Amino acid sequence: MRHESGIARIDGSPSAASRGRRLGVRGAIVGAVHLACLMASSRGAASPQESLEVHVESASDRAAEGCTRADVELAVAKRTRRPVRFVEEARTTLRVQFIVSPPSETVEAEISFDGVSGRETRRLKTSSCEDAASALSLVAATWLEAEPSTRIEDAPPGPAPAPPIGAPIAAASNVTPRETGPVAIGGDASRFLLGGHVTSTPGVVSSWLPGAQLTTALRVRSHGELRAGLRGALAEERGAKGQAALFWATVPLDVCLDTGRAKPYGASLCARAEPGIVRIGYDGQSHVLPWFGLGPGARLRWELGGVGLEAEAFLPLQVLGYSIRSDGPSLETVRTFAGSFAVGAMLPIP
């Protein structure tokens, strides 16, 4: 009996162990599934420290200190809690425009957001570029905090199909678009100018040789400009045997580089080539002859209410020119340095 009961006790022990093993396997399976769900959910959630790639476009009517793209990027990076990388191409774009109004230096600023989560535009007015950049960065930080990771390499391959022509564009579900559209490019971009100048060219004849000039220019951002003008001047020379009338028509062509800017003032160094003609009438005869000057110069600017007031001085060498000898009716060549001065104003062409 003891032997059978012992066998009974031995048979009972394996049965309990078997049930324990089954429970342990079942618990392991449930734990593995739970762990897999946690890992999947962690991969799908965006980390608050996940970096965001942002492209910043900035424009201003002039290169004022504190109103540059670098100032905006620095202010946004300080305001935003998540890491932000500024790149030249991204699906999240901030467009910023500054308009500085002298003489009070009031700054009107506009910022537009275009990203995965939607579009929005805000405008404000401050007393300085630093205040404007700080205020815009605060607005931009609220937009960027809600923006998902938008790296270009993470985007699905291929462009999204364009909607049919005339079909309404669906807005993002969590953002209501307000004022959209591109920010107008101001004076920091290339622009055309038109103006006029009063001129003087002493050293060619005995007088100061006053004249007038019509000028057009292309400003290349804040680096410099290309200019072309049409200049006319008239003079009379008295000689031993009569009086000569001289008329110049030249086309001054300038290439200028900005060397300094302290709002609202600016300075440029220039190189000028000035082809043209001179008409000389003397003793009943008239001659039309070529004229060409070449030399360096400098220009000072003062921007006042959107008008650029200017003063310039050049020292061209008259490589090819003619004049009248004062002691007789004969032509003589002119090859000398002659100063060229002008004052005037330039206006932007809308």
Average pLDDT over residues 315-327: 80
Tokens representing 169? 């564009």
pLDDT confidence of residue 325: 67
Residues 95-127 pLDDT 10s: 887 777 766 667 888 888 887 777 888 888 887
Which pLDDT band, with edges at 50, 70 and 90, does 253 fall under?
A: very high
Q: Which residue has the tokens 């007031």?
A: 309
Kind and range of the H or E run holding 22: helix 2-44
- Tell me, yes or no, if the pTM score tops 0.85: no
* End-to-end Cα, the chain, rounded Å: 116
Q: Which CATH class is domain 191-348?
A: mainly beta
262 CA to centre of own chain: 18
d(CA 53, CA 93): 9
Per-residue DSSP letter, 164 = P
Whether the CB-CB separation of 73 and 87 falls below 8 Å is answered with: no
Q: How many helices (H) and strands (E) does the chain have?
A: 3, 17
Tokens representing 29? 């399976």
Domain residue ranges of the chain, discontinuous segments joined by +: 52-153, 191-348
Q: Which residue has the tokens 């309990």?
A: 16
d(CA 120, CA 86): 20
d(CA 279, CA 276): 10
Of 274, 349, 273, 262, which is closest to residue 300 (Cα–Cα)?
262
Q: Give the CA-trace dihedral at 23, 24, 26, 32, to 10 degrees.
A: 160
d(CA 282, CA 205): 15
Angle (CA) 41 46 51, round 5°? 150
pLDDT confidence of residue 326: 62
Of 215, 314, 308, 220, which is closest to residue 269 (Cα–Cα)?
314
Give how far Cα 58 sits from Cα of 85, 93, 110, 260, Å.
16, 11, 10, 21
Is the model more confident about 245 or about 169?
245
Tokens representing 180? 């959209």
Beta bridge partners of 124: 109
Longest dimension (CA), the chain: 163
Residues 183-222 pLDDT 10s: 333 345 678 999 999 999 887 877 788 999 999 999 887 7
Which pLDDT band, with edges at 50, 70 and 90, does 65 fall under?
A: low
Q: Which CATH class is domain 52-153?
A: alpha beta
d(CA 251, CA 112): 44
